[in-house]
Amino acid sequence: MTNAIEIRAVTRRFGRVKALDEVSFTVPVGSICGLLGRNGAGKTTVMSIISGQDRPTSGRVEVLGATPFEHAATLSKISYVRDNQRYPDDYRLHHVLRIAPEFAPNWSTDVASELVDGFQIPAKTPIKKFSRGQLSAVAIVLGLASRAPVTLFDEPYLGLDVSARALFYSVLLRDLATVPRTVLLSTHLIEESESLFDRVVIVDRGRVVVEEERDDARELALSLSGVADVVDRVAAGRAVLQSTRVGGLKSVIVRGPGDSDILNAAALHGVQVAPASLQDLVMAYGTHDEPATTTKEGVRA
C-alpha cells in the first residue's frame, strides 16, 4: 500500500447542490500535500469525508486501505479538527489536553506542551470565548500532538500571526522527522506554504483541476507580462487561463510548459516570463468570468 488517501469518483450532494463532483485524487504515504482552491471549492467537504465525519453520496474513499466511515481502527489513525470545530460546553484547554490522548494512541505530551507554551494558549478562559487565532492554536495542538498517521489541517492558520505560523511550520517539519506521517493541508496562504508541499491538489467548484507533484506543477502554466499587444502576440496559440490588464500593461497566465518556442518569443519581444506560481494557478482556475478559457477540465502537463 503506497497511498495513504485514495479518493475515487467521490460525489457529495447537499440537497440540489453538488459540493463535490466526481472528485478523484491520491495522497502517497509520507507526503505533505497541499489542498488548494477558493472558498467553497469543496476543500472542507473532502476533508470531512476523508475523516469519516461525512460520507460521499457516491464514490469511494480509502484511508490506509480502509473505508474510514465508522471504522474504529482507521479513525484512530486520522486527525482532523474542523475550522469551525465545536467543543463541549464549558470546556477549557485542560479538558482538551486530558481527553485527546484517550483517543490518540501516539499522543505526545511534549509536543502538546511545547505548542501550548509557544502559542500562549490561555488556560483559564473557556474555549467558547477564544479568539479565532486561539481556536486555530488549539486545533494545531490536537493535529500535531496526536501524531496521527494521516493528519488533515483545514486552514490551520486562520487568525495566527507570523511568529505563531513559524512555530507551526518548524514543529510540523521537526516532528514529521521524528514520527513520519501523511499530511493534507488546505490554506489560502499559498506563497507562504508552498515550499512545504511535495504535492498539490487544486479543487474548483467541487472538481479536481490539478493534481501534481509540486515540481511538475511548475510546468502547468506560465506567467507572461509586458506591453499588452506584445504579450498577446507571445501568448497566441496558448489557452489563456487568466489575464489582468492595467493601462497598456498586461499579464496573462497561459497553459503549458515553458518550451523554447515561447521562451524565445518572450525574449525577442521583451516579455517577462516565469513559471506560474501555485498562487497564480489557484487564481487562474478560480476565475470564471474570463472568456476563452477551458478551465473546467483537468490539466495534464
Partner 1 sequence: MLSNDIPIFQQLAAQIKDDIVAGTYADETAVPSTNEYAVFYRINPATAGKAVNLLVEQGILYKKRGVGMFVSPGAAELLLAQRRDRFTTEFLTPMLREAQTLGIGPSDLAAMIDREAVSDERH
Partner 2 sequence: MSSVVPAVKLHLNKREMTFLVPLYIIGMVALISVLISLVFLRGGSVPGSEGWLTGSRNNPAFLWAFPGYLVYLGVQSIATTFPFALTLGATRRDFVAGTLLWAVLTSAYITVILAILTMIELATGHWWSGFHIFDIYILGLGDLSLLVPIVFLGSLTCLVVGGGFAASWVRWGARGPQLIATALGLVIVVGVIIVIPSAESIFASFAAWWLAVAAAVAIAISAVGAWLLLRPATVR
Q: Is the CB of residue 243 less than 8 Å from the CB of residue 252?
A: yes
Q: How far apart are CA 141 and CA 118, in angstroms?
A: 10
Q: Which lies closer to partner 1 via its Cβ, residue 163 or residue 294?
A: 163
Does 196 bind partner 1 (CB under 8 A)? Our answer is yes
Q: How far apart are CA 127 and CA 123, in angstroms?
A: 9
- Of 53, 57, 279, 287, the residue at the interface with partner 2 (CB under 8 A) is 53
Site for partner 2 in 88-127 (CB under 8 A): 88-91, 95, 98-100, 102-104
Q: Of 212, 233, 206, 231, nearest to 33 (Cα)?
A: 212
Q: Choose one: 82-90, 172-180, 199-207, 269-277; the region binding partner 2 (CB under 8 A).
A: 82-90
Q: Which string of x and - marks every residue 3-42 that binds partner 1 (by CB under 8 A)?
A: ---------------------------xxx----------
Q: How far apart are CA 290 and CA 246, in angstroms?
A: 16
Q: Is the CB of residue 202 less than 8 Å from the CB of residue 36?
A: yes
Q: Which lies closer to partner 1 via its Cβ, residue 236 or residue 274?
A: 274
Neighbours of 174 (CB within 10 A): 11
DSSP assignment string, 30-67:
T-EEEEE--TTSSHHHHHHHHTTSS--SEEEEEETTB-
Q: Which lies closer to partner 1 via its Cβ, residue 34 or residue 42?
A: 34
Q: Which lies closer to partner 1 via its Cβ, residue 120 or residue 195?
A: 195
Q: How far apart are CA 79 and CA 218, in angstroms?
A: 30
Q: Choose one: 53-61, 74-82, 95-103, 270-278; the region binding partner 1 (CB under 8 A).
A: 270-278
Does 255 bind partner 1 (CB under 8 A)? Our answer is no
Q: How far apart are CA 288 and CA 201, in angstroms?
A: 19
Does 140 bind partner 2 (CB under 8 A)? Our answer is no
* Residue 104 binds which of partner 2, partner 1, none (CB < 5-8 A, kind-dependent): partner 2
Site residues (vs partner 1, CB under 8 A)? 30-32, 169-170, 173-174, 176-177, 194-198, 214-215, 218, 274-275, 277
